[in-house]
Chains A and B, each alone.
Chain A
């Protein structure tokens, strides 16, 4: 049973477009949601995160939108660049616990 689901599995956008990566979860006790970016041959690196008390978190071209009622969140990457081509993982964690539950990842390709 997958606690965290991501869609689409892969996404291709043109340079300059906005990429939208989706994530949903089942466990209502999850209250912290980090997004990790992973390049081939490297480990995942924290990109941006949000807690369940917020509905939006912005950091430069990266924005998380969070809908607690629907247990959904999305990562928007505006003005996508070829250097953004990577695998993006949505993860979740409950309070008082440091165990991350990951989604399957979305492979993003940005075409110049």
Chain B
């Protein structure tokens, strides 16, 4: 089936540093998402993105977070500065359309903030 790629698979950084998580969505998909999963907890919605704009974000999407997809390249999640509580697995997803369309997930980036 369609594949979403995420780079890197693992990232370890010191608290306060900036980190960028990269997502290569399914080609011709128009909607992009980030979800966060803290160890032992359920996956939680962070943000969705369409046509260069954030459509909706959750309260987990702090001011230190930003997303963009410049010129059809990677869909990125940037955290600046990072905090200890940002340690989690971040899943990227994409879908061809809006409602009732399947979201295809990447394998996740495991972020550890020390």
Give the interface of A toward B (CB within 8 A).
2, 4, 32, 34, 36, 41-46, 49, 89, 93, 95-105
Contacts and interface: CB of A to CB of B under 8 A. Distances in A.
Given A43-B4, A43-B91, A44-B91, A102 B42 contact: yes
Given A49-B102, A98-B103, A104-B42, 4 more contacts: A89-B43, A98-B98, A100-B35, A103-B42
B56 A99 contact: yes
Interface in B1-16: 1, 4, 6
7 contacts: A4-B42, A32-B99, A43-B105, A43-B108, A93-B99, A96-B99, A99-B58
B48 interface: yes
User: Looking at chain B, what size class is its interface with the partner chain?
Assistant: 20 to 34
Contacts of B103: 46, 98, 100
Contacts of A44: 43, 91, 105
A41 to B, nearest CB: 6
Given A34-B102, A43-B105, A100 B45 contact: yes
Nearest to A3: B42
Nearest to A89: B43
